Structure 1
Amino acid sequence: MVKITNFFKGSYTSSFSVKKCTCIFLVLFVCSLVIHAQTTLTGYVLDEKTKEPVTGATIVEQATTNGSSTDADGRFDLKVSGRFPLKLSIRLIGYKDREVIVKNATDPVNIYLTEDINALNEVVVVGYGTQRRKELTGAVASVSKATLEQPATSVNELLGGSIAGLNVSQNSGQPGTGSAIRIRGGNSIYASNEPLYVIDGFIFFSEKNATQAGVGNIDGSLDPLAAINPSDIESIEVLKDVSAKAIYGSRGANGVILVTTKKGKRGGNTIRYQYTIGVDKSAKKLDLLTAKQWLSIQKEYFNDKPSLYYSQEELARFDKGTDWQNAVLQTGISQTHELSVSGGDEKTRYLISGNYTDQKGIILNSGFKRFSGRLNLDKELYQNLKVGLTATVNRSTQDALTTFEGANYNDSPYSHGIANSLTYALYMPPVLSIYNADGSYNYKNPFEYSYLSYYGQAANPVSDLKNSIGQTISTSLLGNFFVEYNILKELKAKVNAGANTDYITQNYFAPPYTALGLNQDIRGMGAIGNRRTDVTQYEFLLSFTKQLNPVHFIDLLAGYTYQNTKTDFSVSKANHLESFDNLGTGNELPPISRKQKASFNSFLGRANYTLLERYNLTATYRADKSSRFSKGHEWGYFPSIGFSWNVNEEEFAKPLFPALSTLKLRLTYGKAGNQEIDFDEYEQYFNTGRYNGAPAYDMKNLGNSDLKWETTTEYNAGIDAGFLNDRFTLTADVYYKKTHDLLLRIPAPLGSGTSEKQIANIGNVINKGFEFTLNAKLVERKNFSWSASANIARNINRITSLGEYDGLTEGNDQEQILRVGESVGSFYGYRFLGVVQSDEDISKLPTIGGRTPQPGDAKFADISSSDGNPDGRVTPESDRVVLGNIQPDFTYGFSSSASYGNFDFYIMLQGSQGNQVYNLLRRYLERPNDSYNMSAALLNSWTEANPSNTIPYLGSTRATELDSRYVEDASFLKLRNVTLGYTIPIKVNSSSAKVRVFASARNLLTITKYKGYDPEVASGVDLGIYPSSKSFMAGVSLTF
């Protein structure tokens, strides 16, 4: 015993013995030796197949807390205990976990990882989190990595043909214009059918009028997603069924597209620069009459009108004349510069990127420019606390065509098929020259009607395009900040705060010598519109994840979200402009201004439960409150439930299906909603203006305090299967959706004081169909790999109720109809039966317009009168029928990628079958007249010597009606993309680098029967849309 003296309190006997003290000392000494004995182990992690460095792999010494990660060269430096041999664990998503034993630290160790090709082990992004496919119950599809790596100007270019059930149709070939995207058909008629976009967790502001400032007369609109540089995208997931998308509640009915942008990786810095240059040409030109052909028709059928203005010698010299179509088309040159710097360490990851795009259009004075910058930053402040910031700044400028729709004419040229300067060029008589002898523009057109002429001065489409302005400028800033705190190992809290500000300026000017400025009441017109939209979003999320034991796994999520949107816009207009682009020099018209705001509150919850890694159950619930609906109707409730069974994990399945590596069955049910109408549709409001110098008001919206959500009830059953270790994978789904309480626009009641249609909850629509996707890894060798993917989908769309209405016609020519039993977007008109022939008994033909058709006239079907029987008369009231619709019977896509040595190759095809387009432009071009050019098809018109059964006699008074001739089959197969690249690995100061050169072509081939510029017409009515282009690109990418 040792006696220890306390100087203050005397002495006492300690229970510590010398032996115990010695043991403690020795233990501490040995521990200190161990600590000082730690050594650094250096090594490289490589891809087993390609031998390329693997970045971001985690290396941990087992039974210790020692860890590290690989840098851009695949290198790691790991402090280890020094107790050799030791065991390392290496992990990285997309590769199989690996354990290796290291005997010493003398030489660097090389570790090879094998790609994990089991499809169900893939981790995918879902609403408010991530999940392994193995645990999913919903239908979630991902855009392939090979597709995301292709050069593209917009996000939409990456989606077409890539996913079953995702239909992408161009709104226009105008650079910077978006596409119409439908996931499993359209659920609505007047509310939006666009999917919800979520960019890095932020619900993106993408309303259809988001980039319009109320100016009008600008053809098309700027894509709200133009702010996103496709090269910044890491992954795109598409949530298709209700189990996957119900977590987004009232905004999830049309499907959800989750876009995750690239982030920095731990281990060193990476710099990437890419330059791309491209050439665009019109994919097609329409076949029009030459000057000689036009003169021949004028002489034979229209009293030789040109002889009034040209001598016989001048007429004899005409051959092809002026190709006005070719004059307004051009070769577009595009170029893109991209630069990114990324990197990180164990606690910080960052990525900074910048993009500049300049794309000239294939029509004069059209194009698109974009400058964008992005910052992604993640920082681990403490062991349990992480913060992150995503910020994007963008400025996009779109120069578009000016449209003649709504022009202030007594007889608007739009009603005569002249939609814009492109279509006006198609109508220009080929005998007219573009320029005068002195090089000035020719504004003389003796053939022009009064629509586009003023005291002998007519418009010139080339001058119009070069001197008019139809410009949209978007400046946007998107920022999203998060704080994530691990309260416990299993319990995590996350707060997101984001803001998106978008400032739109639209400039529209038409000088007095342009088509829109000619009218004596206008004499030059212009407008400037400004629109600002501010969106703020807050999310408070709490998640709990726990593997209770090898049997049970639970993943719970609860949250509250709030989003507030404020929009204000103002428009200034003037006419009689003395200066081309200065409103102050003209007569100011009454300005227009408006402010709107909307708020959105939500409570959400989701529970995932997995039993024995075989049985998965997902239940979600979301309650949304929207200010777009009046009191008593603000709240909507959207539940869903899903179940899946990993059959391949069952013991009985393995001997029965030895080639089957994956088999999962899925079943889901739930509800989602749609609230995408104007902010204040339920309120009554007036338009303001002036009448005889005094303020005047007219009713714009009657208001409807009973408006409520559109609600879509959905069912889905699916199967995921893999064969031969998932070398071949198959996904199949069948679904049924019913949308009720449609937000439908109906005629205002008589005596209400307005002719504007009003919105109400009336009617139902169903969508049902199936989807198949097949993926194959055809070859996987050391220096050669080849994979392919094919998908096909069919969706049937039907209106099942319109309340008290039998049918509602739509369109400028009432060419579309909403009718129970038909699809949304059905065309309505006469059924064309051919051309009356000379030997036909005309007494048996029904009259049209009170006149009996004569030989050479078009003849139409006499359907019925009020009693249901043919009555010998063809009338709009009784004999128009549904002629087709814009809905495809099925859509499909095929892609394939391959690599051989340093070469890589990619191809994408997209197709649509069974959809129709009303070719209104063709109808006008085939209308015989003495003022405008016409289609070359009229050369095959009916004569006694040429008894055509398709083109009536040119002198016929009813040669072109709204009939089935112009509802065309718009099925197509497009070769969307072909890319060939070559990568050159190089060494720079002992670091790895690579240079990749590539060539790419888009829309190289289109197979279709459609006679217009492009079969992709999202609206279904083609009155001369901006043509699509063939693009040829070449580029170089440098990474080091």
Structure 2
Amino acid sequence: MKNNYSRLKWMALIIIVGIFFFLSKTANAATSTLPLFQQQEVSGVVQDQNGLPIPGVTVTVKNTNRGTVTNLDGEYTINAPANGTLIFSYLGYKTVEIPVDNNEEISIQLEEDIAALGEVKINAGYYNTTERERTGNISRVTEEEIENQPVVSPLQALQGRMAGVEVTSGGSHPGMAPTIRIRGTNSLREEGNYPLYIIDGVPINATPVESNSLLGNTGIDPLNNLNVSNIESIEVLKDADATAIYGSRGANGVVLITTKKGGIGKIELEAKAYTGISTVPNRLDLLSTPQYIQIREKAFENDDTEPTESNAYDLLIWDQNRYTDWQEFLFGGNSPVTDLNLSASGGSENTSFRIGSSYHNQGTVYPGAYDYSKFTAGFNLNHISDDKKLDINLSVNYGEDINKSVGNVDLSSGTFRLPPNAPSVFNEDGSLHWEEWTQVGLNNPLQGFYNNSETQTTRLNANLGVSYQIIAGLRFKANLGYTSYHSEELLKIPKKSYNPSSWESTENRSSHFQSNRKSYIIEPQLVYSDKIGEGKIDALLGVTFQKSMNSRLGIQGLGYVAEALIGNLDAAETTINGTSRNIEYKYNAVFARLGYNLKEKYYINLTGRRDGSSRFGPGKRFANFGAVGAAWLFLEEPFLKDRFSFLSFGKVRSSYGTTGSDQIGDYGYLDAYEATSGPGGIYPVQLSNPDYSWEVNKKLEAAIELGFVQDRINVGVSWYRNRSSNQLVGYALPAMTGFTSVQANLPATVQNTGWEIEVSSRNISSNDFTWQSSFNFTLPKNKLLSYPDIEQSSYVNTYRVGHPLDISLLYQYEGIDTETGLYKVTDINEDGSFDYEDRVVIQDRTRSFYGGLNNNLNYKNFSLQFLFDFVKQEGSIGSLFNAGTLNNQRSEVMQALDNGSRFQRISRSLEASSAYSRVLLSGFPLEDASFLRLKTISLGYTLPADIMQVFGARSCKLFLSGQNLFVITSYSGMDPELPGLGTSFAALRTVSGGVQLNF
């Protein structure tokens, strides 16, 4: 795979260079259409009314296709006729026309256009809208907020930046799929809660890709192959008005990812690079060797038993003076990170392009030569005809990554329990040490260390959008998309990874796993826009044809004669075809939208969709979904404008509608059989149920948006209620049926309600200093609203009506038993046993609230950006407080040496272990796991333009970034972001520095 990867990488680079050379010639030629004798060079600076430079202002020569844009210092240079006119335009500012009149320097100040501030385009999927006009709830982040973050998946860059959007890291290994929830959990099934991902108009499968390596704990994120620096914006659609047009695919929200496009003007080259180091920011405070020995000796004293070599080898055989900080040894390393980006863009008024490539590499904090590397390439081409009738957009993104890890051995799983005086795990020659471990009947805790997993994935995402104006106001559009995802994993299992006396050491083995996902989509559409009376109507009618093909293949190789041959199936003594699956999924739909704007203050938006899915049986395959959204700009009413003179903007909006879900397995409505091992026989493997049908999600929202002090302060408050019913699940069956489950609808209803607050402000805006802030806050509540006869269902010990889906059923903790000195929980029914009937305490594992605070400051050539995210929640410290056993413990258990400790008496008895096991399932380990974290911080400095001109560059920016630098929390576990076990961690601390050059 490595050779294929290198070959593809260099082929892609050669193609990029070739296309770049060709387009640079054609685009520069296209921008040089006027005779030279009519031209003169004009330069200048574009500033705002406070004297601050405005980068990105479009400067064009009137009645020509010649143009350029201002650099980071607001400077521009353009060739123009001496009697020509320059046009300066930029969103949020009034367009200005200035005659050249033989001037070689034209510098201007653009006037802010308050009415145009809402004209920033927001991607709503099938159409564009603006902040001012939108009737739905859409959150947006731009390239400036995410491009320099040292993350693999773009979802990780969203943490703390959006109200109503929860993103939790998958783990500490690069490539592990994070979890994203948009306004809570809607389905009883894990796979029923994934949102819809759309990249440049092409939907992709959001389900994490399966893996046999450590990545399999959460799966592989299907968005890993994207270049984060190539993303222009990410929009998240949340309410019914925004998502209903996607029908069943939008039940859990929609994530729209738009990649960057080219601009008008001469060829511009951008190069960006950064490098840094990542580390694990926290350690648990565990017992030192003297403390550990003291606790162990006290256990034998309390139990009135004698230590022997079998029950106390840590005291009688192992070195009493040895100390190993196993946390530092196993995950105390430094993980280097490097990122390189190169792009070129330019073009004429009719045709523009952007082409780019990137390389990202990230090491590991664990011992071993493991790393993650990613190569991407992207191309975008836009063309519009002279008469503005034909518009073509082509977007192609390719990504390939290789993830090398230790295979299926979690290096951190047993780290915290290893006694501090445990023997070395390695011999001097680097091989695994077995003698001192097997002497006491144990395996080396790093058994399997030399297993090597290499997972290579590739993604091609291509979209062609064509639009043609048939008549005035009526356009035909077609969206043609194709995506291909391939994952190939090889797990090498050499016999040297295992105890020489075990069966695993008898032969070399390999595990091969392949996954393929291919999908195409065709969406022809008619778009109509026209004025009717005092209003404007926008209409859309379209059809979707989508087909997906998924396949999976798993093979094992056994009996390789040499370690070097592992993975070459031809050299295996035996091959086993473990799994093989091919699935075809078809989805068709008709959708429509009707929007009406009356006097630019009354807005209504109607959307509808009829979906058809191959995942349901005959008669159940089609369903209808739709929504209505409305908005009123009440400040445009003369009788209200004077009453609310302290406001500069005011809007109320509301929406209601239905979306659905078909996120279930394919062919579940059919009986399924497999061939027997003997000749001529088959046996059933799946029961049919042709009657199950769509989940339905009903969404209601009301919101108000206000602007203060000429829109320097903007506040938005939203309330939502989502109810998901007709739940699709694998209904558990009695063992006597011969099947574990059958696909069915349950009469359960899940409700998500909440409040979202979003605030943005321009705190200071002067000649030298600007300060902008944004704040988001979410107060969510999830609960199982109803489930008739849940007591007779298989979910009686999983859910409780009136409580969230994510709960734990716990024992009631009473304290330390005064007679035994052990932990005590309540036997509710007093039957002498402890089971679910005694677990009456319901722990809510959801977040009480969460949000983020972002600030952007600029002082002359300096810039500073930082983001805090915060969460209110409860978590468990996990285990490691059972003092006296053959495991290391938290240093807190030293308190058990004294009377009045909150920990049970130090003991290694069976009674103490049973009491400890029960108290783990009580409220005893729970504590406040809330946190305030400095998620990201970035300091930048732009070198003066006169210095860069010497080197022929337009601009140069140096930046220093940090991620997860510190967290304020009372939680005593490893990472409050993953508070379930206390010993899990995901948020690595990263410090990086880089440079961005523009030519």
TM normalised by structure 2 equals 0.87
CA contact (8 A) 1:1014 1:1027 kept: yes
Q: Which residue of 2 aligns with 1:591?
A: 578
CA contact (8 A) 2:434 2:499 kept: no
Report deviation, 1:808. Answer: 6.7
Q: Which residue of 2 aligns with 1:530?
A: 514
Q: Distance in 1 between matches of 2:406 and 2:971?
A: 24
- SS of 1:828's equivalent in the other structure is strand
1:326 aligns with 2:315: no
CA contact (8 A) 1:644 1:664 kept: yes
The equivalent position to 1:289 in structure 2, one of 272, 287, 290, is: 287
- SS of 1:224's equivalent in the other structure is coil
1:98 aligns with 2:95: yes
Greater shift, 963-972 or 603-612, is seen at 963-972
Q: How many residues of Structure 1 are paired with residues of Structure 2 in the alignment?
A: 936
- SS of 1:540's equivalent in the other structure is strand
- The amino acid of 2:865's aligned partner reads Y
Q: Distance in 2 between matches of 1:861 and 1:117?
A: 65
Q: Which residue of 1 aligns with 2:140?
A: 142
- The amino acid of 1:1009's aligned partner reads S
CA contact (8 A) 2:214 2:405 kept: no
Q: Which residue of 2 aligns with 1:564?
A: 547
Report deviation, 1:719. Answer: 0.9
The equivalent position to 1:234 in structure 2, one of 222, 232, 235, is: 232
- SS of 1:421's equivalent in the other structure is coil
Q: Distance in 1 between matches of 2:113 and 2:156?
A: 29
- SS of 2:246's equivalent in the other structure is helix
Report deviation, 1:729. Answer: 0.2
Q: Distance in 2 between matches of 1:516 and 1:665?
A: 69
* Matched-pair identity in %: 25
- The amino acid of 1:829's aligned partner reads L
- SS of 1:794's equivalent in the other structure is strand
Q: Which residue of 1 aligns with 2:809?
A: 828
Q: Distance in 2 between matches of 1:247 and 1:483?
A: 20
1:862 aligns with 2:827: yes
The equivalent position to 2:372 in structure 1, one of 345, 354, 368, is: 368
1:718 aligns with 2:703: yes
CA contact (8 A) 1:826 1:882 kept: no
Q: Which residue of 2 aligns with 1:555?
A: 538
1:1016 aligns with 2:983: no
1:503 aligns with 2:486: yes
- SS of 1:926's equivalent in the other structure is coil
Q: Which residue of 2 aligns with 1:880?
A: 839
Q: Distance in 2 between matches of 1:730 and 1:520?
A: 65
Report deviation, 1:1021. Answer: 4.2
Q: Which residue of 1 aligns with 2:418?
A: 428
Report deviation, 1:663. Answer: 0.4
Report deviation, 1:115. Answer: 4.7
Q: Which residue of 1 aligns with 2:402?
A: 397
Instruction: Summarize deviations over 1:16-40 as a string: whole Å, max 9, x none.
Output: xxxxxxxxxxxxxxxxxxx999988
- The amino acid of 1:1006's aligned partner reads V
Distance 1:321-1:260 versus aligned 2 partners, 3 A rule: closer
Structure 2: runs of 5+ lacking an equivalent: 1-34, 301-305
The equivalent position to 1:610 in structure 2, one of 583, 597, 603, is: 597
Q: Distance in 1 between matches of 2:942 and 2:272?
A: 13
Distance 1:683-1:516 versus aligned 2 partners, 3 A rule: farther
1:481 aligns with 2:460: no
Q: Which residue of 1 aligns with 2:252?
A: 254
- The amino acid of 2:492's aligned partner reads F
Q: Distance in 1 between matches of 2:411 and 2:951?
A: 58
Distance 1:472-1:313 versus aligned 2 partners, 3 A rule: closer
CA contact (8 A) 1:322 1:434 kept: no
Q: Distance in 1 between matches of 2:380 and 2:45?
A: 26
Report deviation, 1:669. Answer: 0.7
CA contact (8 A) 1:47 1:114 kept: no
- SS of 2:192's equivalent in the other structure is coil
Instruction: Summarize deviations over 1:193-224 as a string: whole Å, max 9, x none.
Output: 1221211111122223xx22577994442211
Report deviation, 1:758. Answer: 4.5
Distance 1:114-1:473 versus aligned 2 partners, 3 A rule: farther
Q: Which residue of 1 aligns with 2:524?
A: 540
CA contact (8 A) 1:927 1:960 kept: no
The equivalent position to 2:390 in structure 1, one of 357, 360, 385, is: 385
Report deviation, 1:537. Answer: 1.1
Report deviation, 1:308. Answer: 8.3
CA contact (8 A) 1:56 1:266 kept: no
Distance 1:307-1:248 versus aligned 2 partners, 3 A rule: closer
Q: Distance in 2 between matches of 1:217 and 1:612?
A: 54
Structure 1: runs of 5+ lacking an equivalent: 1-34, 405-419, 838-853, 866-870
Distance 1:952-1:379 versus aligned 2 partners, 3 A rule: farther
CA contact (8 A) 1:885 1:917 kept: no
Q: Which residue of 2 aligns with 1:656?
A: 643
Q: Which residue of 2 aligns with 1:160?
A: 159
1:902-917 to 2 correspondences below 5 Å = 902-914=861-873, 916-917=874-875
Q: Distance in 2 between matches of 1:759 and 1:929?
A: 49
The equivalent position to 2:854 in structure 1, one of 892, 895, 908, is: 895
Q: Distance in 1 between matches of 2:884 and 2:670?
A: 48
Report deviation, 1:573. Answer: 1.5
Distance 1:66-1:529 versus aligned 2 partners, 3 A rule: closer
Instruction: Summarize deviations over 1:138-167 as a string: whole Å, max 9, x none.
Output: 111212564234433231232111111111
Q: Distance in 2 between matches of 1:701 and 1:401?
A: 36
- The amino acid of 1:398's aligned partner reads N
The equivalent position to 1:520 in structure 2, one of 499, 503, 523, is: 503
Q: Distance in 2 between matches of 1:517 and 1:262?
A: 55
CA contact (8 A) 2:57 2:89 kept: no
Q: Tell which structure's C-alpha radius of gyration is larger.
A: 1
Q: Distance in 1 between matches of 2:760 and 2:607?
A: 30
CA contact (8 A) 1:620 1:640 kept: yes
Q: Which residue of 1 aligns with 2:932?
A: 973
Q: Which residue of 2 aligns with 1:624?
A: 611
Q: Distance in 2 between matches of 1:699 and 1:288?
A: 52
Q: Distance in 2 between matches of 1:203 and 1:767?
A: 25
CA contact (8 A) 2:935 2:965 kept: yes
Instruction: Summarize deviations over 1:790-846 as a string: whole Å, max 9, x none.
Output: 111111111123343228778xxx9x7222111111101212222113xxxxxxxxx
TM normalised by structure 1 equals 0.84
- The amino acid of 1:370's aligned partner reads K
Q: Distance in 1 between matches of 2:793 and 2:980?
A: 17
- SS of 2:902's equivalent in the other structure is coil
1:110 aligns with 2:107: yes
1:458-477 to 2 correspondences below 5 Å = 458-461=443-446, 464-465=448-449, 467-477=450-460
Q: Which residue of 2 aligns with 1:954?
A: 907
Q: Which residue of 1 aligns with 2:21?
A: none
1:205 aligns with 2:205: yes
- SS of 2:620's equivalent in the other structure is coil
1:174-193 to 2 correspondences below 5 Å = 174-190=173-189, 191-193=191-193
Q: Which residue of 1 aligns with 2:6?
A: none
- SS of 1:392's equivalent in the other structure is strand
Distance 1:575-1:1036 versus aligned 2 partners, 3 A rule: same
Report deviation, 1:626. Answer: 0.8
Q: Distance in 2 between matches of 1:721 and 1:509?
A: 60
1:335-374 to 2 correspondences below 5 Å = 335-365=338-368, 366-374=370-378
Report deviation, 1:992. Answer: 5.8
1:758-777 to 2 correspondences below 5 Å = 758-777=743-762
